[in-house]
Every structure is written in C-alpha cells, then in structure tokens.
C-alpha cells in the first residue's frame, strides 16, 4: 500500500508540475517560419529543419525570446559543422553524465552496500540528485533547444519504420536530444529522486525472516 502511494505521488508531481508553460505558437506561425527558412537551407536538410522547428516550438516559453530569431541563428546548415557539433556535444555530455553517475553512486553507497549502519546524513546525500538542474539549465542557456532543433528526436513508431534505412550516425543523431524531450523543472526532478530513493530504501530494508513466517 505504501509503495503504491509513493508511485502515485511521483505520477502527481510529474503531471501537475513537470513542464514549463509553453508559448502559444499557432500552426500558421510555425508553417510560415518553416517556409521562410526553406529558402535559406539546402534541400538535403529540409526534413531536419521542419522537424526541428516543430519540436522546439511547443517547448518555447515567453522567457525564451523570439523563436524565429533563434532558429535563424542556431540551425546548422553545413553538414561538416553539424558533425563537429555532434561530436562536441557527445563528448561533453559523456563527461557530464559520467561525473553525475559517479557522484550519485558514491552518495548512495552507504544505503546500497553493507558497510555499517547508515548515518542520518547518508539518507540526505542519497536523496540529493546532482543532475536535477541539468535539464532546466540547458533549456535556460538554450543548449537543449540547439540540440532539439538540429538533432530532433523521433517517436518509437517512427524509429521502427525509418530505422531500416538508418546507419549508426543516423541513430546517434536521433538519440542525442532525447534527454530533453520533456522540459522538467529542477525542483520536480529533485523531488522525483527523493521519492525513488525512499522507495528503494524501503524495499531494501523490507526483510522477511524465514523462521518467522
């Protein structure tokens, strides 16, 4: 019962406060921007352009500035520059995610390993998510928008249909921006981590003694 209540709470915070209020761009405005940009972009990049614009438009808020100006300044038309940008993002995200994993692993070690009775501070450290603010920060500094615009994600059914013609690079391009599909505020990410940590700890300490069934 307690486990189900915790899961219900996670669902509530995700769907009640898990996204930013997006600016309302109507379909005509988006289509007009796409048509204008098509005049400046090579034909080979038109599909990526349209998909990228349609991906970021619903995520743009009033605080993010002018969508049209952002697209014009940040859509990468040159294939070589696109490849170089991809490699740089992959490298930096690998460093960032790897560092966050090391921190989280070390912080949760007293609760995961039998190294003595956990201290009160161990529970606080384990509930802390050092990566909680990354999505929020990368939308604010526009890095998430740059990734979504130039390397737009695909739905599962689209991957199934299109992947027969994809090589490793196409797959990598399609996966790059997936962590930023949802614009989740940092406080929500932190709360989710706290709840999951408590759920995991509850399960870990739920011992059934065979001689006392």
| Tens digit of each residue's pLDDT (9 = 90 or more) over 135-188 | 888 999 999 999 999 999 999 999 999 989 999 999 999 999 998 988 777 677
Collect contacts of 70-76 with beta carbons under 8 A, ≥24 apart.
Answer: 70/142, 70/145, 70/149, 71/33, 71/37, 71/149, 72/37, 72/40, 74/142, 74/145, 74/146, 74/149, 74/150, 75/37, 75/41, 75/49, 75/149, 75/150, 76/150
Contacts of residue 11, defined as CB under 8 A and 6 or more positions apart, other chains included, come to none
Reported pTM? 0.77
pLDDT in tens, 1-27: 444 444 444 444 444 444 444 456 678
31 assigned to some structural domain: no
Q: What is the mean pLDDT of residues 66-83?
A: 94
Please state the domain count of the chain.
Answer: 1
87 assigned to some structural domain: yes
205 assigned to some structural domain: yes
pLDDT at 212 exceeding the cut of 90: no
Give the domain range for residue 135.
2-13+78-212
Of 52, 213, 81, the closest CA to residue 144 belongs to 52
27 assigned to some structural domain: no
108 assigned to some structural domain: yes
70 assigned to some structural domain: no
pLDDT at residue number 115: 87
136 assigned to some structural domain: yes
pLDDT at residue number 167: 94
């Amino acid at each position: 019962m307690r486990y189900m209540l915790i899961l219900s709470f996670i669902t509530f915070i995700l769907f009640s406060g898990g996204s930013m209020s997006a600016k309302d761009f109507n379909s005509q405005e988006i289509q007009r921007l796409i048509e204008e940009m098509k005049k400046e972009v090579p034909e080979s990049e038109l599909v990526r352009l349209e998909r990228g614009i349609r991906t970021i438009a619903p995520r743009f808020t009033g605080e993010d500035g002018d969508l049209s100006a952002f697209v014009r300044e940040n859509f990468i038309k040159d294939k070589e520059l696109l490849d170089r940008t991809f490699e740089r993002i992959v490298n930096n995200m690998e460093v960032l995610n790897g560092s966050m994993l090391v921190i989280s692993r070390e912080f949760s070690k007293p609760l995961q390993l039998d190294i003595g009775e956990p201290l009160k501070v161990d529970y606080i450290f384990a509930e802390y998510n050092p990566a909680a603010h990354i999505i929020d920060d990368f939308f604010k500094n526009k890095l998430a928008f740059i990734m979504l615009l130039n390397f737009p994600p695909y739905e599962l059914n689209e991957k199934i249909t299109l992947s027969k013609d994809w090589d490793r690079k196409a797959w990598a391009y399609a996966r790059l921006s997936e962590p930023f599909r949802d614009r989740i505020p940092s406080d929500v990410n932190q709360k989710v981590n706290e709840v999951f940590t408590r759920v995991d700890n509850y399960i870990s300490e739920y011992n059934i003694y065979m001689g006392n069934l």
